[in-house]
Amino acid sequence: MELLRLLFCNALRHKLRSVLTIIGVAVAVMAFALLRTVVAAWYAGVEASSANRLITRHAVSFVFPLPLAYRERIYQIPGVEKVTFAIWFSGVYIDKNQFFARLAVDSESFFTVYPEYVLDKDQLDAFQKQRNACVIGIDLARRYNLKVGDIMNLEGDVYPGQWEFVVRGIYQPRDQTADPTIMMFHYKYVDERLRQEAPGRAGNIGWYVVRIANADDAAVVSEAIDKLFENSPAETKTETERAFQQNFLSSASAVITAMNVMSFVIIGIILLVVGNTMIMSARERTHEFAVLKVLGFSGGQLFFLLAGESLILALTGSAIGLAATLPAVQGFRAALPKGWFPIFYMKPETMVVGCVAAVLVGLVAAIVPLRRVLSTRIVEGLRFVG
Amino acid sequence: MEAPLIQVHELFKSYHRDSLEIPVLHNINLEIPEGEFIAFMGPSGSGKTTLLNLIAGIDKPTAGRISIAGTDITDLNETELAVWRSRNVGFIFQFYNLIPVLTALENVELPLILTPLSKKERRAHAITALEVVGLAERMHHYPRQLSGGQEQRVAIARAIATDPTILVADEPTGDLDKNSAEEVLNLMGRLNRELGKTILMVTHDPRAAERAGTIRQLEKGELA
């Protein structure tokens, strides 16, 4: 007989209570992991940011365009390796509920600057050769059952009119942090049509993406770019891609903060659930703990028994909760309107945090009963009637 | 002449309830030689169990000294006392105090966990102890599957498993019927006679006390 066996026997002594505690912990851990996953989904763009990419946009607002002519001037700045650009096209595909990013991009440079969107060379060549070609993410292809050669019709809103695109490539995200739901097509296709239908809007782009040689030079290069266009009709604001993404999130910061706080409140709830069980359990066994002390068991061994029991409940609940979170994340994602969270998966860090939290909860939940057990004199414990 | 195994010198014990001091033991002096079977009798509240607890090292005296096999246990702190108890004292309680989720064998093995014995040796010691009390065939039974007398015999096996210096028994037959009490007292007698165990027993039962070689009466915290 090992102490470990006594520990397991104690943990399962009141099966119903133990099962209910484990279920309580599992549900709370699942809620915690789901909330963390939602928060992580908000930050997915930030996470995916590259350290050596800068975003140059109009100094007043993202919605104001920048002249295409800026591109060559940006290239002149030391440290700049590659410059590409994009336009937020918007538009409607099928109906207004079908949301995904539609970008008009520079087909020659976009995939070089964004290596996380992996496209076959043949498909890239085909895309570059055909003016009304488009490339879509694998998730879009699955969602709309699209394949190479299929037609995608967009109804323009920011850029009015009917727009017909031919799918010439389907990209794969390099990893889970890359968005698999973007539609990209030729900037030139849009610009040429604007030159005919709305010449005043032609020759502009939405934002530049600047790849720099050394990420440490981000501040210097950003400053140099903005200085270049100082006092021009379209002044620029250049920042790292991460800062750019974070600015996007600032509007939802209150919601994100609330979710962050809630996720840690849930940890507190788990602590209360396990702590309550452990206090009840230890109180009922005051007499037994006194007997163990009589037999010569030390404070450390009693801590092992109590903390071990508490850890069994917390870790079992946590493991079940995390296991249940995986399908719950899929279900949650499926239940959301398409395109809300293009990158939505439980990060390994969430699982680690869940496990670490369970261990801490297990240990902390044992402290109060342990203090009581240790402070109770043996003779009082032997006289205790629960 | 050989020194007594247990020496109690000018022992005082009082409890505090709020601001009230309640004296329990008053100037107890006692010597018990090795191999003695001694019974303490007296009315409720006379301090029998308190004296037993103090000698067993599970309570601390207000004043006085207790020496057992040359160790002054009043000098030991809580941790040292716990180690000392595990090596020197076997306990037999009125209500057996077995762990309900462990089998008879596991209950007997429990104090052996604190010894440096290997798992195999622990198991062998526990089985031997159960054989001594005549319950080897019930070793895999849980306490709830045993009668009161059998539970007390398992408790005795647990008490002797570590081969302690002294056995202390607090009303060991107090919760048993006549036949079971007889069995337990016979067993304790055998442990004293055949294995030379020093036994200190607190009892209200004169028939139980008769089994002891010495009977000491306690009255209002003093030895008569």
CB contacts, 8 Å: A3 with chain B: 113
Give the pLDDT of residue A63.
Answer: 84
Q: What is the distance in angstroms between the Cα of A301 and the nearest Cα belonging to chain B?
A: 10
- Inform me whether the C-beta atom of residue A4 falls under 8 Å from chain B C-beta atoms: no
What type of residue is B16? Answer: H
> Where residue B87 sits, what CATH number does that domain have?
3.40.50.300
Average pLDDT over residues B204-208: 89
Instruction: Please give the residue that has the higher pLDDT: either A4 or A211.
Output: A211
Asked whether residue B62 is assigned to any structural domain, the reply reads yes
Side-chain-facing half-sphere of A223: CA atoms under 13 Å: 4
* Tokens 């031997």 -> residue: B128
Least confident of A337-341, A367-371, B194-198, B219-223: A337-341
Chain A residue closest to B51 (CA)?
A379
3-state secondary structure (DSSP) of residue A53 = strand
Q: Which long-range contacts does A249-258 make (Cβ < 8 Å, 24+ apart)?
A: A249/A42, A249/A43, A249/A45, A249/A46, A252/A42, A256/A39, A256/A42, A256/A43
Q: Which two tokens stand for residue B44?
A: 């409720």
Name the more confident of A114 and A252.
Answer: A114
Please name the member of A2, A10, A295 whose beta carbon is closest to the beta carbon of B101. A10
Length of chain B: 224
Chain B residue with minimum CA distance to A375: B78
Q: Could you count the other beta carbons within 10 Å of the beta carbon of residue A88?
A: 14
Q: Which two tokens stand for residue A225?
A: 């770019």
Give a yes or no: residue B27 inside a domain. Answer: yes
Query: Which of A1, A15, A305 would you mutate first to test chain B, the one with the most B CBs within 10 A?
Result: A1
Q: Quick: pLDDT tens for A353-370.
A: 888 988 898 899 999 999
- Phi, psi (degrees; rounded to nearest 5) at A332: -65, -45
Torsion of the alpha carbons at A228, A232, A234 and A236, rounded to the nearest 10: 30
Residues 6+ apart with CB under 8 A from A114: A84, A209
pLDDT tier for residue A337 given thresholds of 50, 70 and 90: low
CB contact under 8 A, A379 and B79: no
Do A295 and B85 make contact, defined as CB atoms within 8 angstroms?
yes
What is the residue range of B49's domain?
6-223
The conformational region for residue B91 under phi > 0 = left, psi -120 to 50 = alpha, else beta, is beta
Task: Please answer yes or no on whether A9 and B114 come within 8 Å at the CB atom.
Answer: no
Length of chain A, in residues: 386
Tokens of A183: 């539609």
Flag if A294 and B91 touch (Cβ within 8 Å): yes
Strand intervals (E) in B69-112: 71-72, 89-92
Cα B37 to chain centroid, rounded? 11
Report phi then psi at A88, rounded to 5.
Answer: -80, 105
pLDDT at residue A30, as a whole number: 92
For residue A286, give the chain B residue with the closest CA.
B97
Query: Distance between CA atoms of A74 and A76, rounded to whole angstroms?
Result: 5
Mutate to test the interface with B, among A378, A383, A384 (most CBs of B within 10 A): A378
For chain A, the average pLDDT equals: 90
Determine whether the interchain pair A287/B114 forms a contact, defined as Cβ–Cβ distance below 8 Å.
Answer: no
Other Cβ atoms within 10 Å of B65 Cβ, number = 14
Computed over every residue of chain B, the mean pLDDT equals 92
Strand partners, B75: none
Residue B38 has pLDDT above 90, yes or no: yes
Nearest-Cα residue of chain A relative to residue B54: A379
Q: Which residues in chain B are contacts of A302 at CB distance < 8 A? A: none
* Number of compact structural domains in chain B: 1
- Edge-first strand order for the sheet with B222-223 is B89-92, B166-170, B198-202, B37-41, B214-219, B222-223
B48 - beta bridge partners?
Answer: none
H-helix or E-strand spanning residue A212 = strand A207-212
Both structure tokens of B157: 């096996």
B79 contacts in A (CB within 8 Å)? 298-299
- Is the pLDDT reported for residue A19 higher than 90? yes
**pTM, rounded to two decimals:** 0.72
Identify from B48, B114, B130, B170 which residue to disrupt to test chain A contact, counting A C-beta atoms within 10 A and taking the largest count: B114
* Chain B CA closest to residue A11: B101
Nearest CA in chain B to A301: B114
| Those residues with Cβ within 8 angstroms of residue B170's Cβ, 6 or more apart along the chain or in another chain | B49, B52, B91, B92, B93, B94, B201, B202
Q: Using one digit for the tens of pLDDT, what is the confidence trace for B50-105? A: 999 999 999 999 999 999 999 999 999 989 999 999 999 999 988 889 999 999 99
Could you give the percent of chain A with pLDDT greater than 90? 58
Alpha helices in B133-172, H assignment, sequence order: 148-160
Domain assignment present for residue B1? The answer is no
Q: State whether residue A3 sits within 8 Å of chain B by CB.
A: yes
Percent of chain B with pLDDT over 90: 76
> Which pLDDT band holds residue A386 (cuts at 50, 70, 90)?
low
A288 touches chain B (CB under 8 A): yes
State the virtual CA torsion across A180, A186, A187, A193 in degrees, nearest 10.
Answer: -130
pLDDT-based confidence at residue B1 (cuts at 50, 70, 90): low
B110/A382 touch (CB, cutoff 8 Å), yes or no: no
Asked if the Cβ–Cβ distance from A288 to B99 is below 8 Å, we say yes
**Nearest residue to B130 (alpha-carbon basis) of B155, B147, B113:** B155
Q: What is the pLDDT of residue A234?
A: 93
Nearest to B101 among A9, A294, A295 (CB): A9
ipTM: 0.92
Q: State how far the Cα of A2 lies from the Cα of A81, in Å rounded to an integer.
A: 65
CB A46 within 8 A of CB A341: no
- Residue A152 CB burial class (10 angstroms; 0-12, 13-18, ≥19): buried
Which residues, at least 6 apart from B106, have a Cβ–Cβ distance to it below 8 Å? A1, A5, A6, B99
* pLDDT of amino acid A267: 86
Q: Is the dihedral of CA B190, B194, B195, B198 positive or negative?
A: positive
Residues of chain B contacting residue A1, judged by C-beta atoms under 8 Å apart:
102, 105-106, 109-110, 113, 122
The shortest CB-CB distance from A294 to any of B58, B87, B119 is to: B58
Chain A residues with CB under 8 Å of B109 CB are 1
Does the pLDDT of residue B120 top 90, yes or no? Answer: yes
Stretch among A175-179, A261-265, B107-111 having the lowest mean pLDDT: A175-179
